[in-house]
Every structure is written in C-alpha cells, then in structure tokens.
Structure 1
Amino acid sequence: MTNHDDTTSKDVTAPSPSHGSTRVDMHVKLLDERVVSRAKARDIDVLVYAPHFTRLPAIRRKAAAFSDDELLVVPAREVFTGTWRQRRHLLALGLSEPVPDFVTMEAAFATFARQEAAVLVPHPGLFNVSLDREDVRAHADEIHALETHNGKLFPSQNRLGRELSAEFGIPGFGSSYAHLRGSIGEVWTEFDREITSEAELVAALREGAPRRVIHRTGLGHRVRSALEFAHLGYENTWGKVDRLFLSGMEPTHPGHIAYDGKFDDVREY
C-alpha cells in the first residue's frame, strides 16, 4: 500500500512507476551493494546520496561507482549551516565545488547560487537541525523544494512540511532519509519526466517540474520509520559528539586545509 501527495494526500494502490516518469529517493545516507539491490527491488530509479561529514569529491566517486544502467546515484551535500547548537541543514544538488559545514546560512545560500545548484530544505520541524518558518520565509526565493514527507519523521512533522510548502509556494519532495538499509525506497518523489543524469535532476528541481510524493503504508512502514527515529537518538548524541570532538577535525570543517581558507570569513567555528 502506498500514499501520495501533490498538495493533498490520497490513497493509491498502484506502486508501479508511470511510463515516462522517474522515481527518486531524494535523500539517503548510506550506499553499498545491499542498498543498490534494495533500491532496484523497490523500483527506485535514482538515489540522492548525501552522507554527513564527507567532502564532495569522495561523494562523487562513490556515487559514480554504484551507478549503472538500472540505477542512477546522484551525489549531494547536506550542509550544516550555523553553529553546532543552532545548526540548520540544507541539501544541495549539482554542486561544482565543495562547500563546508558550519558556515553562515547566508553564505551557504550565496555559494549554492553561484554554482547554480538545486537547494532543498530537508526534514522541516526536526528539532534544532531544520529551517523554521521564518528561515523559509527569508529564503523562499532561493529554495527550490521543501520536504513534505520524510520517512524518519512523525506525521505532525511531515504535516508542517506540507504547510510550509503550500504557504510559500515551494514545490515538495519526499525521501526515505535512510540511515538504515531497510528504509531505502520507503518514500520517493515521482517526477513526470525521465531523468537519466544529475544535470537532469537538478534541472527538474530548479524548474519546479511536476511530481508526486509517495510513501508506503502499513505496519512494515511504521516499524521502519520507528527504527529510523530510534537511530536518530544515537546519531545526534554520542555518534556525532564522538566524530566532532574526539576524532579530530572533520573533512568538512571550514578550517580544513581542503578549503584553502576560502570560508574563513563566514565560518562559525
């Protein structure tokens, strides 16, 4: 059983993709042979791969290694803007140059614009890691899509995403936000066109191409969502504290030598 929304939600019972359309799981955090196999089994055409604390060249190499004629893996960056305590996440596709974490939100938007990237707002309403209503209002003209269904979130949080999408006229998108392999393909965005490259997906997002946001339903979906949310507790406490403060400077820290001081004037750390 699946459920989809354009501006409203309706029950649908036809899980097969339409002719000439493309199913995209718009945000996943892991990538290996098992992830690829599961995506194909669930008729996903495109995965957007955006792991935390990984520089763009490494993401691009891995995405290319796991792409084939059946599944396109598009590299992306979920950039942490602001400070650790007040971080706001932005998902950028189509970047031509690396962008570090922990820069100001204004600098991130400006850098994305210079690179003509597609800029997405992931998981609105998720604790202190999401843009709020005022953030969206301030940057509505710079945002190409806003998440209206995230497989990790509760219904009230996803409802906020739909409200913000409607209020500011920003197209929606959906993703599994998979940190666990079993979540791949639980949520997807189905575009009304064939998408066979990163450039075509970026164009569809920047142009506001028609799409449906679809998610699975039933007990299995609810269990996978609960497992993902439970994983969030580890990920945002000890898991990231260990990476940030015990393991040395992260590869995406703005002070890392890879960025050659380019972001020193807009870094928060």
Structure 2
Amino acid sequence: MTNHAAISSTDVTATSASLSPSTRVDMHVKILDERVVSRAKARGIDVLVYAPHFERLPDIRAKAAEFSDDELLVVPAREVFTGTWRQRRHLLAIGLTDPIPDFITMEAAFATFARQEAAVLVPHPDFLNVSLGREAVRAHADEIHAIETYNGKLFAGQNRPGREFSAEFDIPGFGSSYAHLRGSIGEAWTEFDREIESAEDLVAALREGAPRRVMHRSGIGHRLRSAIEFAHLGFENSWGKLDRLFLSGMEPTHPGHIAYDGDFDDVREY
C-alpha cells in the first residue's frame, strides 16, 4: 500500500477533493521490466505510460503488452523529438495509430498527432533546450491536451513554468516520475476521477480534460530520488544520446529510416 503520509498534491483540477472511482497513472516512464512493474504495483500505480527514447512504436507496443496484466496497465507512447538535435523540442503523444519519427518539424508532428487523434502532452515545459517554452505553448495551445506541472526528475523551480503555463493557457496539468531509473517509478503520478482500463480510456480522459489531481511523494527520500535522477540526466542528454544518434548508426526513429518509407522526407530536419 502507498504511504499516504508521504504524499503531496501539487495541482488540483478535480471537481471535488474526493475522487471515486479513481486511477493513478505515472504518465511518463522510460524503462520497463519486471522490477519496474513490481515497484509500480507496490507504489499503488494502476497505469504506466511507457515512452522510451529512440524506440519505434511497434516495439513499444509489444513491450507494453508483455508487461501489462490485471493489476497494471502499461500504455505505449512516444516522446517525439521535434526540430534539430541542438534545438529539439519534446512532445509526448499517447494513442498513436501509426509510427512517427523524431527530428521532424514541430508543425509536422502536431499535424500527424491530429490525424491520428492522439492525446498530445507537453513534458518538462521550458526546461533547457529540450522543451516547449511559453511562446510555443501559446502558438499550439489548441492542439495540446495536457502540460506537465510536476516532473519527478526536476526541482521546484524547474517545475514552476509548467504550473504557470497550465494556468495561463487553461490547459490541464499532469504529473509523472519521468523515471529513467527503476527506483523513481511511482514518485509522481496523475490521479484521474475515473476508471482507466485501456489506452483508449486514457486518451479519452486526456482529450476530454477529465478532472484529475497531480500528486507526488514528499520528504527527504523524494528529494534525494529527484537529485539522483537529475544527475543521471546530465549523461542521458549529452554523451549518452549523442553516441547513439551520431556514432552508432541510424536510429530506428530517424526520419530517413527505411521503416518510414520516405513519408516524412519533406519535413525532416536531418
């Protein structure tokens, strides 16, 4: 059972303080294996959104299905890198029907998401050079279904822009552990006031702006976990990805990959 004494609410968009029935969703994780599933269940998480970097949608779907069971639903998603490597802007898409590559224009990404009727989320807004800032959110506000108001990998000041953008543009919030490490699973989550039993249910809740609460664990353990994740970020977003992208051959999500059959050649940045 989750220790409710170690939980804080950072954002409330629910119609009431008591949500019943409810579903706890860790809205963005990068890793998935038996230990991740066990930890999610121990933390009281009902749904994990699995969106690893540089993995094609069919492979993500297959792995999500492998680790889903009656206690935990794993929903496949893609965190798409738009733009160039130096000016990449991340968008999280849930409910895609067809693959989409990284490193295409932001306009092409939004258009592709719309055609597939996916739910479009803004992860870690205004963070470094990997996120949508205020003007980009303003320009695409009508196409965005949720914006991250609490990311378990970031510190308080780094999470502030998400809350500000959510309020300014009247876009519902969401929270996630953004776990790249197993120990971070379930450190933050979004609690919806409805049962979510399928990927389609989650997409509907997001596109409809369903009431929810953004929650996270608290205390020194949570702050330490954030610090460990943030330290890992330095490698993850520099040499780790640079090596994979430029030194290890063409990634499966490169727009020039044969899997995309040239469909994105006119909007690719590389």
Report what 1:154 is aligned to: 155
Report what 1:22 is aligned to: 23
Question: 1:72-121, CA deviations, whole angstroms, 9 ceiling, x for partnerless residues?
Answer: 00000000000000000000000000000000000000000000000000
Question: How many positions carry a matched residue from both structures?
Answer: 262
CA–CA distance in structure 2, aligned partners of residues 165 and 256 of structure 1: 36
CA–CA distance in structure 2, aligned partners of residues 130 and 45 of structure 1: 27
CA–CA distance in structure 2, aligned partners of residues 195 and 50 of structure 1: 18
Q: What amino acid is aligned across from residue 212 of structure 1 in structure 2?
A: R
| Residue 18 of structure 1: how far off its partner (Å) | 5.2
Report what 2:3 is aligned to: none
CA–CA distance in structure 2, aligned partners of residues 249 and 258 of structure 1: 12
Partners of 2:19 and 2:192 within 8 A in 1: no
2:109 corresponds to 1:104: no
Q: What amino acid is aligned across from residue 202 of structure 1 in structure 2?
A: V
Report what 1:234 is aligned to: 235
Report what 2:244 is aligned to: 243
| Residue 236 of structure 1: how far off its partner (Å) | 1.0
Percent identical among aligned pairs is 82
Q: What amino acid is aligned across from residue 86 of structure 1 in structure 2?
A: Q
| Residue 5 of structure 1: how far off its partner (Å) | 3.0
Where in structure 2 are there 5+ consecutive unaligned residues? 1-5
Partners of 1:7 and 1:166 within 8 A in 2: no
Q: What amino acid is aligned across from residue 131 of structure 1 in structure 2?
A: L
CA–CA distance in structure 1, aligned partners of residues 87 and 11 of structure 2: 31
2:196 corresponds to 1:191: no
Mapping 1:33-52, distance limit 5 Å: 33-52=34-53
| Residue 159 of structure 1: how far off its partner (Å) | 1.0
Report what 2:75 is aligned to: 74
CA–CA distance in structure 2, aligned partners of residues 264 and 81 of structure 1: 14
CA–CA distance in structure 2, aligned partners of residues 213 and 7 of structure 1: 6
| Residue 140 of structure 1: how far off its partner (Å) | 0.1
CA–CA distance in structure 1, aligned partners of residues 94 and 234 of structure 2: 27
2:6 corresponds to 1:5: no
Q: What amino acid is aligned across from residue 119 of structure 1 in structure 2?
A: V
Report what 2:54 is aligned to: 53
Q: What amino acid is aligned across from residue 72 of structure 2 in structure 1?
A: L
Report what 1:218 is aligned to: 219
Report what 2:95 is aligned to: 94
Q: TM-score, normalised by structure 1?
A: 0.96
CA–CA distance in structure 1, aligned partners of residues 19 and 221 of structure 2: 24
Q: What amino acid is aligned across from residue 76 of structure 2 in structure 1?
A: P
CA–CA distance in structure 1, aligned partners of residues 269 and 245 of structure 2: 14
Partners of 1:76 and 1:91 within 8 A in 2: yes
Does the C-alpha gap of structure 1 residues 265 and 57 become closer, same or farther in structure 2, counting only changes over 3 Å? same
| Residue 6 of structure 1: how far off its partner (Å) | 3.1
Report what 2:139 is aligned to: 138
Does the C-alpha gap of structure 1 residues 119 and 192 become closer, same or farther in structure 2, counting only changes over 3 Å? same
Stretches (4+) displaced over 6 A: none
| Residue 23 of structure 1: how far off its partner (Å) | 0.0
CA–CA distance in structure 2, aligned partners of residues 220 and 245 of structure 1: 37
SS at match of 2:140: helix
Partners of 2:11 and 2:215 within 8 A in 1: no
| Residue 237 of structure 1: how far off its partner (Å) | 1.2
| Residue 3 of structure 1: how far off its partner (Å) | 0.9
CA–CA distance in structure 2, aligned partners of residues 132 and 159 of structure 1: 12
CA–CA distance in structure 2, aligned partners of residues 7 and 32 of structure 1: 31
Mapping 1:198-213, distance limit 5 Å: 198-213=199-214
